Structure 1
Amino acid sequence: MQRYDYLIVGGGMVAANAVQGIRDRDTEGTIGILGAEANGPVTRPALSKKLWTDPEFGYDKIWMQPESDAGTTLHTGTRVTAIDRSAKTVTTAAGETFGYGKLLLATGGKPIRLDLPESPRVRYFRTVEDYDRLRELSGKDLHIAVVGGSYIGTELAAALIQNGCRVTLIYPEEVLGSTRLPPSLANRFHQTYVDNGVQLLGGRKVTAGEEADGKVTLTLDDESSLIADAVVFGIGVKPSVELAAKAGLEVDGGIVVDEHLKTADDAIFAAGDVATYPDRLLGRWHAEHVDNANQMGATVGHNLAGAMEVYEHTPYFYSNVFDIAWKAIGVTDSSLEIIEDVADGKGAYFYLEDERVKGVLLLDLDAQRLDDARQVLAETGPQNAASLVGRIPKT
């Protein structure tokens, strides 16, 4: 049995940031990372963004390499199947056992799948391997169907149409982005895809699929079908909480942790996509975004090494497609009341419920305005157009 002072289950961005956080306080303790994927941590957002759209951002820039620390060992292709909390050990699918002093669960999420097996032409987009397979198909004028109108689906549709593919985007809303974006922005978002040549198939869901003879046939919920050379799914992820639940840890939309990112077991912490935590502005919260992985990963690393830091950062999320760039914090639900403060394509949208701001979306504004948005979210008094318009500078 191998034993580590700090054992991290999950080989993603949280793991890399946690290693750095541990090393800020403990330069000697041994660290083990058990990652189910075939590679170590990468800057995952680049897989659907910069690698497709920025020619100066090379493939070599995605690797985070926490194992370059002499005291840190990365085990790839290693899936943990059980935790023995009393013995402070974990067991892998291959039957190996690893011991720990402190354990971090950073198992992330897994893509939602249909009953259509993955293959070189069918991808449920999440990993470096998914990016590699999709890259092999690009630049050949192939018809690729993208399923899903949220972040991954829309980003991949934009990436593929700009890299030599014919693209059909299938999504459930009538107007692309309309469940989360304000109506005026959703209309612009939708039209931008049309103008760039993406075939939009709105108001539809995929119910089944079949691959044969180098083609993929998708069956839609109106009983029509679509034939493509390949299909990539971006229909959301589910937090990978099964390991924690099996070990008797509390799960509620994610692994429940306190303000120090610790579970009810003093030796076990959780962070990143898989954790649900008490956010100081938003209440009990679950965030599946890179800012959270970076900031929470660093904090949990400090706490694994003995600090008692409160995780006080309220993370933001973002998307860049074509000429549209936005960042947001909190709830972006277009069914809420929305107050718009935008001019010349720049500004802020405020999402309100019962006169309280629940979310802020910044359109084409610098990252420094995120702190302004956090200040608005922190206020507990009633808000309206008079108090919000002009609140966040447009420069």
Structure 2
Amino acid sequence: MSEKRYDYLILGAGMAADAAARGIREVDPDGTIGILGRETTEPVARPALSKKLWTDPEFTLDQVWLGTAEATGAELVLGEAADDVDLSARVVTTEGGREVGYERLLVTTGGDPRTLEVDDWYDSGRVIAFRTIHDYWRLREYAAAGARVAVVGGSFIAAEIAAALAQQDVEAHLICRGPAPMASILPPRVTGRLTEAMERHGVRVVTDAEVRTGEVEGSEGPVRLDMADGREARYDLVVTGLGVDPATGPLADAGLKVVDDGGIVVDERLRTSDPAVWAAGDVAVYPDQILGRTRIEHVDHAQESGKAAGRSMAGADESYTHTPYFYSVLFDDFFEAVGALDPDGGLVEDWQGGDDPLDRGVVYYGTRDGDTLDVTGVLLWNVEEARDAARAVIADGPVPVDALRGRIT
């Protein structure tokens, strides 16, 4: 017998969980909701941890809390990760031995940060795999002390953290394995502009550098990084932004259908292979109406799919039809993107700036066949209010290249 049983139990206490609880309440005002989260804090607006809290003086720490319990009446059980899920009994057992029952279950467990494979680094407190508000607080301590910080990774989260630190007068080094920050999603002309801007604002960008090993040298540091090419460097603190893997935990072992990378397969209503279980956010592999079956790790998807899953759990007969976008703000530039951005595929660049064409423009990604491009993704560089237009281009299928230039302005 479980200690407590909920009409709706949500695994994970992030933004998708918050949106799901609100979605449930839109359909069912009375059903009991439990949120079981491995983090010890209530849901927060996670993008602010690497964006507004560093760059917007009017955005305060009080504004990151989402107020989930107050808005929805959900009971939060925090600091308790799921260790086992019994789908037949509809019971979740936590790592601490707590048993929680459910009538309907939603998985919004997000992602586990990838880490450097160096023993005990992250236990030292001087190497942070940036993800939570606790990581933000720890990084703020070092920023206030004027530390020398290395940010390892070429992801957009790594670039945002390095930029945020530089704006706090911290000596920040961004160490990328590839040729430039965000080279896996941005075309070379854009990464060149971005690198120049970061250097101009005080970030030292170190490219083609792979961290192989290292050591925390004593209880007070520093942290030594050893590169594959023989270089070494020492820092007061190291932050890693290497992407995430879907945090499916015990769900795959429980028998839910998953794909090779661990994502949980759901249908158009975000329901899994078990009729009493849904999944949303980073862990869900869902059938996007434009992109096909995919898995997306960005906040817009977490919120929209969380809300849709909550409504679906509560009985709304609706499909999830939203194609998400993601965004970043780096110094004077910002971008939004819809779809899959692969700069190694076909590209059509439509730059529309004034004195510097790269001040503003649109980049279309896809598969090139002669004079046509089958568009799979759109980058909006300093272009506002054009996400729906980008979705329309992707939905059109193959488009003549000449017709793309000037289509979105």
Provide TM-score, normalisation by structure 2: 0.94
Amino acid at match of 2:315: G
- Whether 1:229 and 2:236 are equivalent positions in the alignment is yes
Among 165, 175, 179, the residue aligned to 1:174: 179
Aligned to 1:106: 108
Whether contact under 8 Å (2:9, 2:104) holds in the other structure is yes
Whether contact under 8 Å (1:118, 1:124) holds in the other structure is no
Deviation per CA, 1:262-301: give whole Å up to 9, x if none: 0011100000011110000001111100100111111011
Amino acid at match of 2:336: K
Deviation per CA, 1:173-203: give whole Å up to 9, x if none: 2233333212221110111111112111100
Alpha-carbon distance in 1 for matches of 2:404, 2:315: 42
Shift of 1:338: 1.1
Aligned to 2:375: 357
Whether contact under 8 Å (2:22, 2:72) holds in the other structure is no
Deviation per CA, 1:90-143: give whole Å up to 9, x if none: 000111101101000111001011222333321000000000000000033211
Q: How does 1:210-249 map to 2 (within 5 A)?
A: 210-213=215-218, 214-249=221-256
Amino acid at match of 2:123: E
Alpha-carbon distance in 2 for matches of 1:95, 1:39: 20
Among 88, 96, 99, the residue aligned to 1:94: 96
- Whether 1:14 and 2:23 are equivalent positions in the alignment is no
Amino acid at match of 2:382: D
Deviation per CA, 1:353-380: give whole Å up to 9, x if none: 14200110001111x2100000000012
Alpha-carbon distance in 1 for matches of 2:34, 2:173: 43
- Whether 1:377 and 2:394 are equivalent positions in the alignment is yes
Alpha-carbon distance in 2 for matches of 1:81, 1:187: 45
Aligned to 2:45: 43
Alpha-carbon distance in 1 for matches of 2:172, 2:74: 43
Q: How does 1:269-284 map to 2 (within 5 A)?
A: 269-284=278-293
- Whether 1:337 and 2:346 are equivalent positions in the alignment is yes
- Whether 1:120 and 2:125 are equivalent positions in the alignment is yes
Among 139, 144, 147, the residue aligned to 2:149: 144
Amino acid at match of 1:319: S
Aligned to 1:54: 56
Shift of 1:67: 1.0
Aligned to 2:356: none
Runs of 4+ in 1 over 4 A off after TM superposition: none
Aligned residue for 2:250, secondary structure, equals helix
Alpha-carbon distance in 1 for matches of 2:179, 2:153: 13
Greater displacement, 316-325 / 114-123: 114-123
Aligned to 2:84: 82
- Whether 1:159 and 2:164 are equivalent positions in the alignment is yes
Deviation per CA, 1:186-234: give whole Å up to 9, x if none: 1101111111121111001111221123210111111221100110000
Aligned to 2:362: 348
Shift of 1:390: 0.9
Amino acid at match of 2:401: A
Alpha-carbon distance in 1 for matches of 2:96, 2:268: 34
- Whether 1:300 and 2:309 are equivalent positions in the alignment is yes
Deviation per CA, 1:141-168: give whole Å up to 9, x if none: 2110000011111000000011121011
**Aligned residue-pair number:** 391
- Percent identical among aligned pairs is 45
Aligned to 1:32: 34
Shift of 1:70: 6.6
Aligned to 2:258: 251
Whether contact under 8 Å (1:326, 1:361) holds in the other structure is yes
Amino acid at match of 2:53: L
Alpha-carbon distance in 2 for matches of 1:113, 1:231: 12
Alpha-carbon distance in 2 for matches of 1:361, 1:2: 47
C-alpha change, 1:119 and 1:164, in structure 2 (3 Å) is: farther
Alpha-carbon distance in 2 for matches of 1:129, 1:203: 30
Aligned to 1:133: 138
Alpha-carbon distance in 2 for matches of 1:365, 1:228: 37
Whether contact under 8 Å (2:85, 2:254) holds in the other structure is yes
Provide TM-score, normalisation by structure 1: 0.97
Alpha-carbon distance in 1 for matches of 2:98, 2:91: 10
Aligned to 2:201: 196
Whether contact under 8 Å (2:82, 2:249) holds in the other structure is no
Greater displacement, 260-269 / 168-177: 168-177
Alpha-carbon distance in 2 for matches of 1:31, 1:49: 31
Instruction: Note the residue ranges of structure 1 that are not aligned, 5 or more in a row.
Output: none
Alpha-carbon distance in 2 for matches of 1:277, 1:324: 31
Alpha-carbon distance in 1 for matches of 2:328, 2:71: 32
Amino acid at match of 2:276: A
Shift of 1:37: 0.3
Whether contact under 8 Å (2:156, 2:182) holds in the other structure is no
Greater displacement, 15-24 / 111-120: 111-120
Amino acid at match of 1:276: V
Whether contact under 8 Å (1:219, 1:225) holds in the other structure is yes
Deviation per CA, 1:301-327: give whole Å up to 9, x if none: 100101121100000001101111000
Aligned residue for 2:392, secondary structure, equals helix
